[in-house]
Structure 1
């Protein structure tokens, strides 16, 4: 009887409500130079959204696409994912893998010139840009002065002359990312493609898509030849084939090289904390007498996948593009892709001036990751490394690039 009475008393006693379980969303992010900031963004989002927890995972390897493809095949995509503004991502949107984000505030606040690259054939807005991307050559002003260089190069011939002067002064002219071909793609390949292909073919995007763009040409072979030429002439650091992303920036910041190809997304690291002043200039990959064609477009951005947590992932996307954006920009000093900033917007006058200058250019090229088909991007990385290792000639690399682009067009062009 005592036991029964005790049970009755327990049943009648008031119960405290158990906290509602949190929903966990997974974010797979490309953040090679800002992982801590991404974790901070997720933590701040969690404070304001106690019903949600963000499990941040980081991409590895040489490209966004090589991280996404296995997950698409296995059906294990996260709720939010880093994506590039290219045909592959657009096709994922058409297939219902990526959600339409065009009704979000983030999309509506994105700069209008960036939106076409993030729009699929049928009008789905499939992602938000992580920034305005432009690539440049950063240079050590003190080293240039030591070598007697008082005029910046305006074409490739002059660029080689600058490299020769630096070498004669006992200075390594430029850092080469042979161990991280993503930056070879963003740097010398993109600038070579801009000046060797885009400058002479206004319809290059359309022709690449339908398979009529010819890349098996002397001009494209020259892109690969120049990539190999720099280390062959002793203008790159001795360990160029094993130099990765972080190490490459470290070599520049420690004053071991005079120049480095990098993007606006790395301005915070490249311009600050050095014992010397840094300048920037448009990569002069143009021939004498021709205007240099700069690279300008969208940085890698963010998309939401069609998962049961889509609504929660949309909330996180809005936060990344809103209150979270100054967190990453505080370190990166990249150019905001949005019409209105939230909080303090950190930028460098040098990068703002550079971006404004290239945006006024009559012809600009897209970053390589939004120009080439995804399978071709992976092939390109190997082609560049094989040319550097002299396993392929520049002409063979151009031929294989051409075959890949045309094969992709046959498979996907409708």
Structure 2
């Protein structure tokens, strides 16, 4: 009896265990099936320089997410005065994200040759980029390290109505004439030009770049190679004059009050609100500067040339996008393609810049006057590169400080030229091979 009872007990326990096992297997199998069905989502981090179009960048990322359910883009925005000051600490710490904004300069090119930035020559975006721009984005070792965000040029935007009230019928064609225009606007009770003292990036893109174009590039055809190998002499009266002119405009009272604290957005508002007759800005801000005003705006080449000399304008590649060598490189490449493809019209609806791509011009919104202006510049015998692609990365940050120090009268323009020369030569010794 005991044997039978024991056998029955064992049989019952065995059956119970089987039922429990079967009961436990069913949800585990369902979980495995659900897990297998759900796509694995890769998160790509993008660190972007978008001081005047952050909402558009977020919309591009959102539309990419919707079209690519297996990839999510986490957008972060650069802060401060330059792209390089955002990148350098991350390079040093080995914490670069998957996609970043970069400038077409020697620093970014070196990152590509060091294997930090990926080669993007195999992308559709690269193949469709305008041929003249590809050289800006090619490293010494032949790697394509980024895609341009646009064709970049800096110009002076002006308020046609304010010019008319001051009796100005002819646009200035040299620096002396420009000073005369400023004087006439001031006598008419207007602020002649907005100065971005609180955002030295625009002082660099504006009066510094135009000064460098007309005082250095115009005089030295091989300036770029000489800067790279350390033989370009920048400790000259002509370079000192670049800084002197930056200080001269406010010294004569031709800029807005508290100009040293005027930031990027505030500066554009001053122009758009009719509080300043002129403003240095880039083609990338055409949508903001040319539209939505209570007046008609125009543009002209910054006349930083001396009388009798042909003006040298600034024309090149705008800040663009690069993919970093991370485990998520493939997903980041897809996002790069999206930015240059379906995403480009999104940012263009606000910016109205010049497309850097051969195709898609029909879908990209560009201001007609800016297009005509850029086409005119392309026919000039000599043009200069934007300052962020001309100078070594450490020198870019130095120039911001030098301009501030000259404006605050902490140093003289001649001292600024000497320090600029020392910085460029030091960078050449460290990097030129």
Aligned to 2:40: 21
Distance in 1 (alpha carbons) for counterparts of 2:141 and 2:380: 30
Higher Rg: 2
Q: Deviations over 1:316-346 (max 9, x none)?
A: 0000001100000110001000000177210
TM alignment of 1:194-213, pairs within 5 A:
194-213=213-232
Q: For this pair of structures, how many residues does the alignment match? A: 414
Task: Name the SS for the 2:369 alignment partner.
Answer: helix
1:68 to 63, 87, 103: 87
Q: Deviations over 1:111-158 (max 9, x none)?
A: 000001100001000000000000000000000000000000000000
Aligned to 1:5: 19
Task: Name the SS for the 1:38 alignment partner.
Answer: helix
TM alignment of 1:10-409, pairs within 5 A:
10-12=24-26, 15=30, 16-18=33-35, 19-341=38-360, 344-409=363-428
CA displacement at 1:239 relative to structure 2: 1.2
Q: Which runs of 5+ in 2 are unaligned?
A: 1-12
Task: Name the SS for the 1:139 alignment partner.
Answer: strand
Q: Contact between 1:179 and 1:242, CA under 8 Å: does it hold in 2?
A: yes
TM-score normalised over the length of structure 1: 0.98
Distance in 2 (alpha carbons) for counterparts of 1:382 and 1:195: 22
Runs of 4+ in 1 over 2 A off after TM superposition: 1-4
CA 1:308–1:342 in structure 2 vs 1: closer, same or farther (change >3 Å)? farther
CA displacement at 1:186 relative to structure 2: 0.2
Task: Name the SS for the 2:154 alignment partner.
Answer: strand
Distance in 2 (alpha carbons) for counterparts of 1:342 and 1:46: 25
Task: Name the SS for the 2:259 alignment partner.
Answer: coil
CA displacement at 1:7 relative to structure 2: 3.7
Give the aligned CA root-mean-square deviation in angstroms. 1.1
TM-score normalised over the length of structure 2: 0.94
Task: Name the SS for the 1:302 alignment partner.
Answer: strand
Q: Contact between 2:355 and 2:361, CA under 8 Å: does it hold in 1?
A: no
CA displacement at 1:10 relative to structure 2: 4.1
CA displacement at 1:11 relative to structure 2: 1.6
Query: Which stretch of structure 1 is more off in the superposition, 90-99 or 341-350?
Result: 341-350
CA displacement at 1:22 relative to structure 2: 1.0
Task: Name the SS for the 2:189 alignment partner.
Answer: coil
Query: Which stretch of structure 1 is more off in the superposition, 44-53 or 8-17?
Result: 8-17
Q: Contact between 2:139 and 2:145, CA under 8 Å: does it hold in 1?
A: yes
Q: Contact between 1:323 and 1:342, CA under 8 Å: does it hold in 2?
A: no
Q: Contact between 1:323 and 1:343, CA under 8 Å: does it hold in 2?
A: no
Q: Contact between 1:295 and 1:367, CA under 8 Å: does it hold in 2?
A: yes
Q: Which runs of 5+ in 1 are unaligned?
A: none
Aligned to 2:5: none
Distance in 2 (alpha carbons) for counterparts of 1:321 and 1:283: 30
